[in-house]
Amino acid sequence: MAYDEGILTDSQMLRSAYGSYGTGVTVVTTVPADGSPVGLTVNSFSSVSLDPPLVLWCLDKSANSLQIFEQTSHFAINVLAHDQVDLSNTFASSGEDKFSGLDYTTGAGDAPLLAGSVAQFECESWATYDGGDHIILVGKIVAYRRNNAPGLLYIGGQYARSTPA
């Protein structure tokens, strides 16, 4: 099959090429010392290391929550289930109170753990790196849980459900 040749200055085309790599969908949450919880939809999540147990995700430097995540001691990664598209859209918006009416508990550092998620990783902030127009946040898992519900996927700019290949 023919390729569209990549033009590095065409960010839309580069974004589309990145989007050909399918991912799961997560909501990353935290709470500032004296404020309300914050969270955003994230598909840049990746597992990194088993020993020590490390994960990473990337945060856009233009996100409203940038300063809070740069300073937080803990955050939680909530891996979304296939029926949580609405939740993903809520946390992908820049609304004031994304947690209003939501069912959640709290984990390490009081980071929100969203009901119905497939897996929850409670993390201690481990390191932060510069990543161009994003920052790369590495977390050390201090507790986690999972169930067998099917996860929500994201590929080609669209949500999808997994079926075995």
Q: What are the start-end ranges of the E strands in 46-157? A: 46-49, 54-60, 74-79, 104-106, 112-114, 119-131, 134-146, 152-155
Which C-beta is closer to ligand FMN: that of 3 or that of 101? Answer: 101
Which range of residues in 35-43, 46-54, 101-109, 137-145 is near ligand FMN by CB under 6 A?
35-43
Residue ranges of alpha helices (H) inside the chain are 11-18, 66-71, 85-91
Backbone CA torsion sign across 86, 115, 61, 156: negative
Q: How far is the CB of 51 from ligand FMN (least distance, A)?
A: 25
Binding track over 127-156 against ligand FMN, x by CB under 6 A? ---------------------------x--
CA 145 to CA 116: how far, in whole Å? 12
Cα 41 to Cα 5, 86, 102, distances in angstroms = 30, 11, 15
Which C-beta is closer to ligand FMN: that of 41 or that of 120? Answer: 41
Q: Looking only at residues 39 through 68 of this chain, which bind ligand FMN when binding is defined by CB under 6 A?
A: 40-44, 57-60, 63-65
93 interacts with ligand FMN by CB under 6 A: yes
Contact residues toward ligand FMN (CB under 6 A) are 25, 40-44, 57-60, 63-65, 91-94, 154
